[in-house]
A = this chain, B = another copy of it.
Amino acid sequence: MLEYVCYATLFVCDISRQSLLQRKATGSKVGCVSPSKLVISENKYLLNCGIKVNFCLGVLWLGNSVIPGSPDVISHLQKIGKRVFYVSNNSSKTREEFVSKFSRLGYPASKVSVSLFTLILIIQFMLYFNKAVTFFVHCTENILCTAYLTACYLQDICFKKKVYVVGSKGITDELDATSIKHLDVGPDPMCSDMTTLLKNEVQLDPDVGAVVVGFDEHFSFPKMVKAASYLRQPDCLFIGTNTDEVFPSEFPLTVPGTGTFVKAIETCTNRQAFKIGKPSPYVCEAIINRHQVDPSKTLMIGDRQPVPRNVFRNLQTGFHSDVILAYDSFSLTLAR
């Protein structure tokens, strides 16, 4: 108990009981306390903290299933004056797509759905009321997803060349939003034999100056050859959106995550990617610098232990961070 209280921890639930058990079965390190302790420790924490505490949440849903109770907790946090940021390692969506998902799943931050119809309404509204702009920006500015953060990073370093993306439209849309050039994403299957591929089909674009690897359901041998071949140039940047080895799935299957694709390209290039998402320092810097957040008054909450605590506490970013995986803590929070 004391350990967690002194770490200024807010306890959040894991994705599901089943997922928790799976993680235990596969030997992932998880921590778990009894429901009664959860209630007490969280109450203590909330009582002791000022209203300026911010929350960065990492685990709210699995696929299209909301963690029971979590939208109400977010709603409660906002009501008592906390700023809430949603930090996602999922690189397949833009911020606008996340807003849409928030809305669909019933989270309070998603006040505006960006369906085409709503978007038209907003634009019309903006013509008359400047306030609407602030309102709309508010919806996406609380969302820090790796597609967006990758574009931010390239913007930060004034990148002017072209990007080869192993990933999805989420990344290229965010690159477009910052006017960063890129090659197209999508299927690139092996259609011939290896000699034909290498001799005739792989045409490298000399303008490419960065390879971004994110989640890509069309990950294939030709894409690996291209990414690795661009990275033969030592000055070609190598960016991995995140390091999650497995993509969460509702099906009883193991779906390789971005971390697996990044590791594959790292292996054949003998290079290390610059990582964007949690638990890399860049995501912390982005939160601090782009949102004027005081890390000493901010909780970073995720579902990976002990990585988040070690990384976020030790990298001089100053965030309070810890996590307990307990499948029903959100509902307990509401019951207190």
Contacts from A to B (Cβ < 8 Å): 26-28, 187, 189-190, 193-194, 197-199, 202, 204, 216-221, 224-225, 228-229, 231-232, 245-246, 249, 251-257, 259-261, 263-264, 267-270
Contacts and interface: CB of A to CB of B under 8 A. Distances in A.
Given A198-B251, A264-B267, 14 more contacts: A28-B270, A189-B190, A193-B217, A199-B251, A204-B253, A217-B221, A218-B221, A219-B220, A220-B221, A224-B260, A229-B254, A245-B270, A254-B269, A259-B267
Contacts of A26: 270
Given A229-B253, A257-B268, A216 B224 contact: no
A256 B202 contact: no
Contacts of A267: 245, 256, 259-260, 263-264
B254 A232 contact: yes
5 contacts: A28-B270, A197-B217, A245-B270, A254-B268, A256-B267
A263 B267 CA distance: 7
A21 to B, nearest CB: 13
Contact of A224 (B249, B256, B268): B256
Contacts of A251: 198-199
Nearest to A220: B220
A229 to B, nearest CB: 4
Nearest to A269: B254
A282 to B, nearest CB: 21
A253 B225 contact: yes
Contact of A270 (B27, B189, B190, B252): B27
A220 B190 CA distance: 9
Nearest to A194: B217
Contact of A217 (B190, B232, B249): B190
A255 B256 CA distance: 21
Given A264-B261, A264-B264, A194 B255 contact: yes
A228 B202 contact: no
A29 to B, nearest CB: 11
A240 to B, nearest CB: 12
Contacts of A189: 187, 189-190, 220
Contacts of A229: 252-254
A188 to B, nearest CB: 10
A253 B221 contact: no
B187 A190 contact: yes
Given A190-B218, A197-B217, A256 B264 contact: yes
B224 A221 contact: no
A255 B217 contact: no
B260 A198 contact: no
Nearest to A261: B264
Contacts of A216: 221
A95 to B, nearest CB: 21
Given A217-B221, A251-B199, A256 B270 contact: no
B198 A225 contact: no
B221 A246 contact: no
